[in-house]
Amino acid sequence: MISLNHNIYNLRRSGIRRYTNLARAVGGCVMLTIGEPDFDTPAPIKAAAGAALSQNRTHYAPNQGTAELCREIAAFESRRGLPTKAEEVLVTAGATEALFTALLGILNPGEEVIIPTPAFPLYESIVLMAGAKPVFLDTKPLVFQLTEEALAAAITPKTKAIVLNSPNNPTGAILSEKSLSAVKKAILGKDIFLICDNVYQGLSRESCPDLSLDGDLREQTLVCQSFSKPYAMTGWRVGYLRGPEYVMEKLLLLHAAQVAAIPTFLQDACVEALGVATTEMADTYARRREFVCRRLTEMGLSYPQPKGAFYIFPDISRFGLSDEDFCTQMIQSARVAAVPGSCFGCPGHIRISYCCSDELLAEGLNRVEAFLKSLEASVC
């Protein structure tokens, strides 16, 4: 066997997909594992893609993105609160590539990235692939927030970036103003990048404090955004990066080297997407969120208060099983699937996603309840 890039041996298969596959193999399961909208892409967005195809918008786009989409994204970002120029935008293959391009583009081997956990596992994979070091900051003792003391303890002379994800996958929690000012205090004026993974922001009905809008941090902030979640476009693979020009002109070269450009007709459809209201989907998730919270509370489970995204992260540690055994047994004996918290660096919890119909969700939660009762009965 010929050896590969040494860093590639540190990558692991996504636990989210592993448990989804296990549930599929067992059959008859209600899947509460899936982290993607159960809605179809809104019709005007699909129509715009169709129209672009019939106009033969099938040739290479500029590496950065089409002029129109970059302009519209800049306008969209400006409306969020920080004036943004088209030159500060890069259209990427989803937030996945935005994160990859951002982290690979800024990291040198041995540098450190602070990842508050629980966290989406992609950050760790990219940091490892760059030969850099993930520094996990466990937020569970901080009630899933951040403090000045915890950040000060995590920062070293090698710290190059911190990744924030609010609303969070897997908890659905939102970082408070206090947490964000602790982050600002920790990094302002230092050679540390703030990477804001904002993919769930567009679906939040609650106001979501956002450090990426702070002008003082502008020269050190990179925003990763996606069309996947707010517009139910996960399979389209379009997202973007926003950052200061001196960084973006370099990240453009990295993006050009690995992706060249995002398909032109998809970008035309994304221009349309930016004008589509997401309130109906956000309302649906908010309604389901209330229902799930009520049901889990009835079952006696505690969880960080979810305020956005479409996940909830109950604590199952009192049942005396590891979160992985808990999820495996729940699939096998109760036919309902969730993802173990250890896949997000937070054992003792499970992630439940409510991206399914009200009926399926109700049935799935009934099965969770029956499973908990069977565990309690076996403990007694």
Collapse the DSSP code of 56 into the 3-class scheme (helix H, G, I; strand E, B; otherwise coil) and give the result.
Answer: coil
Q: Which CB atom, from 77 or from 197, has the smaller least distance to ligand PMP?
A: 197
Q: Which CB atom, from 163 or from 334, has the smaller least distance to ligand PMP?
A: 163
Window of 49-57, 88-96, 246-254, 255-263 that interacts with ligand PMP by CB under 6 A: 88-96
Q: Which CB atom, from 55 or from 258, has the smaller least distance to ligand PMP?
A: 258
Q: Is 94 in the site for ligand PMP (CB under 6 A)?
A: yes
Taking the C-alpha atoms of residue 127 and residue 171, their distance in angstroms, rounded to an integer, is 22
Taking the C-alpha atoms of residue 195 and residue 160, their distance in angstroms, rounded to an integer, is 10
Q: Which CB atom, from 95 or from 192, has the smaller least distance to ligand PMP?
A: 95
Cα distances from 275 to residues 92, 147, 226, 272, 333, in angstroms, run 19, 37, 15, 6, 45
Tokens of 36: 């993607």
Q: Which CB atom, from 64 or from 226, has the smaller least distance to ligand PMP?
A: 226
Strand order of the β-sheet with 311-312 is 311-312, 350-353, 339-340
Among 228, 264, 278, 328, binds ligand PMP (CB under 6 A): 228
Q: Is 303 in the site for ligand PMP (CB under 6 A)?
A: no
Extended beta strands in 132-266, E state: 133-138, 159-165, 193-197, 221-226, 239-242
Q: Is 35 in the site for ligand PMP (CB under 6 A)?
A: yes
95-114 residues near ligand PMP, rule: CB under 6 A: 95-96
Window of 92-100, 269-277, 316-324, 326-334 that interacts with ligand PMP by CB under 6 A: 92-100
Identify the DSSP state of 221: E
CB 241 within 8 A of CB 212: no
Site size toward ligand PMP, by CB under 6 A: 13
Collapse the DSSP code of 193 into the 3-class scheme (helix H, G, I; strand E, B; otherwise coil) and give the result.
Answer: strand
Closest distance to ligand PMP from the beta carbon of 380 (Å): 38
231-270 residues near ligand PMP, rule: CB under 6 A: 234, 239
Q: Which residues form the interface with ligand PMP (CB under 6 A)?
A: 35, 94-96, 120, 165, 169, 197, 199, 226, 228, 234, 239
